[in-house]
Amino acid sequence: MKIRSSRPILLLLLFLSAGCGGSDDPAGPDGGGGDGDNTFTATIDGLAWASDTNLIGVSGSASPTRPGTLTLSGYQSSSGRAITLSLSFFIGPATQPLGVNVGTTPGGVGTVLVATDSWLTPLSGAAGFVTLSARTDERIAGTFHFTADALAGAVPATRSVTAGAFDITIDAGLPPLPAGVGSTAVANVGGAPWYAATIIGLNPGAGVFSLGADNTAYSISITPKIPVAAGNTYGIPSQMNLTVIRTGTADSWAAITGPDIGTVSITMFTADRLVASFEAELPPLNATAPLLVTGGAINAYLQ
């Protein structure tokens, strides 16, 4: 469930729609305008940036959706620079990462637009953070920072956005709050923190599941070999499969047979939610050394 290929185009279209002062969604609230004291500011590569007040917009579905995605957009006409933030699964004040898939994971993505060039936060799970201090029916406010990578050969290779802040009120009302809760997965992989950007969980039947989580560093998949239930701990590989692949390479790790070298402990397992912890020292399948995975924690939506 990747968003990298299509997200820049979508964000640019959303920004242009808001910048023209029209409706963000044919059936949605008007994001172009709001109140005259709306603000959207940041520092881009050390230079102060502030959106023109009349070009600040908020877009999103007019009907409740599970992610409840909002896109905040702002454009500074004097510099020709724009910033967009696409945020999901915020039901109120919270701090979440930027550089995650808005369809699965709390947080979002940040984009810088300069003329026809764009820079997007990579799906690393750790490209920055956004903190909402307010999220009501009419107002959204918060702070943010992120580092975005160039798309399609744009120069420079990265853009650094710091000291970001926004405070936007839409009198006609913001798009609805999320109708569901997102998924998170974290671990320490090979001695480095790992935060999943995209998480896909499936529940094909009683006692079984399939979970895949990835970012720009590693992809992790977990599936049981036997029917499982909450309140139990299962061995890897006798009862659980756990596979790790280094993103973009053939490097992989998993225990196929032999004695258990790790565990998966399940604390909640319902038709639509899995909460579990995991750890293992995985032997190499197509790598040169074992890979230590510790502190694994999953809270995932199952489809």
pLDDT in tens, 147-171: 999 999 999 999 999 999 999 999 9
With 0-12 / 13-18 / 19 or more C-beta atoms within 10 angstroms meaning exposed / middle / buried, residue 63 is exposed
Sole residue written with tokens 């006692």: 207
The Cα–Cα gap between 56 and 41 comes to 10
Sole residue written with tokens 């520092």: 43
Note the pLDDT of residue 37: 87
The Cα–Cα gap between 142 and 171 comes to 18
Residue 89 region by backbone torsions, left for phi larger than 0, else alpha for psi between -120 and 50, else beta: left
The Cα–Cα gap between 221 and 211 comes to 6
AA identity, residue 48: A
For 95, how many CA atoms within 13 A lie in the half-sphere containing its CB? 6
Distances (CA, A) of 138 to 38, 85, 169, 280, 301: 12, 17, 5, 47, 28
Residues of the chain with pLDDT under 50: 1-34
Note the pLDDT of residue 136: 92
Note the pLDDT of residue 143: 98
For 218, how many CA atoms within 13 A lie in the half-sphere containing its CB? 23
